[in-house]
Amino acid sequence: MTLLDAFLSAPPVVTPQRAVPDALPKVAFGIVGICTFAVYLAAIRRGFLDKRAPLPVFAVCANVSWEVTYAFIYPTEPMMRTILYFWIPLNLVLLFQGVRYGRKDFGRMSAPLYGWMVAGFFLFAFTFMIAATREFDDRAGVYTTVFVVVLMESLFLVTLWVRRNTEGQTMYIALGKTVVDTSGAVALIAWHPDRWLLHQMIAAELILDAVYLVALYRTFKAEGRSPWRKI
């Protein structure tokens, strides 16, 4: 198929996912489920210890919106839905930490303004998930997933830049989310080899993961601390 043929063919979003061995998505998403759960627990622990939001508050708003959308509004397949039931309570704790501690990342912003800003973004993120699912016919949450992940990885870098320190962060959290993104990417690309936008977003998230790992490592070194001793 030529490049012109590809542009003139039916949009990839309406084509069915490619058949792959059953073991591939089961293993890939099994890793995603377990590692995400571990990352959430590690982040919650670190957030309470450091009294800082371990995940950027806007990223948590997007995460909660995504999980509620595919657990209840556009229910995904049973195994993933069960995983979401475990993720949602943890993300609500992370959202609490974001609301309680996240204002420290916004300078002199008043508490009322910060609260309204978070509420406004949560409303946007929640309605975006529903609208995007409908517009892309994305009942599996493929595109909304990569949109959320690119946003989240970008915000991790911004947060590190704003704080200029490693409060609320560890290399293990950073590595864990990189494993999650890589494992999910393998399954999504195998299922959808012709979705260029999806591939572009996946490439962006993995590049951002790598940049964040390097930046966080260097920040630990600049503080005179071992990157691997903080858990």
pLDDT tens for the 231 residues of the chain, in order: 555 455 545 566 657 778 889 899 899 999 999 999 999 999 999 999 999 999 999 999 999 999 999 999 999 988 889 999 999 999 999 999 999 999 999 999 999 999 999 999 999 999 999 999 999 889 989 999 999 999 999 999 999 999 999 999 999 999 999 999 999 999 999 999 989 999 999 999 999 999 999 999 999 999 999 999 999
Give me the pLDDT at residue 134, please.
93
pLDDT at 72: 96
* The predicted structure's pLDDT at residue 20: 87
140, two tokens: 């599996």
Measured distance CA(193)–CA(181) in Å, rounded:
17
What's the pLDDT score for residue 5?
55
Region class of 141: left (phi > 0), else alpha (psi between -120 and 50), else beta: left
On whether the pTM is more than 0.75, the answer is yes
Residue 13's pLDDT is what?
64
Q: Are the C-beta atoms of residues 174 and 212 closer than 8 Å to each other?
A: yes
pLDDT at res. 10: 58
Q: What are the angstrom distances between the C-alpha of 195 and each of 26, 105, 165, 168, 220?
A: 21, 36, 38, 36, 38
Q: For residue 1, what pLDDT is reported?
A: 52
Contact 157, 208 (CB under 8 A): yes
| pLDDT for the residue 163 | 96
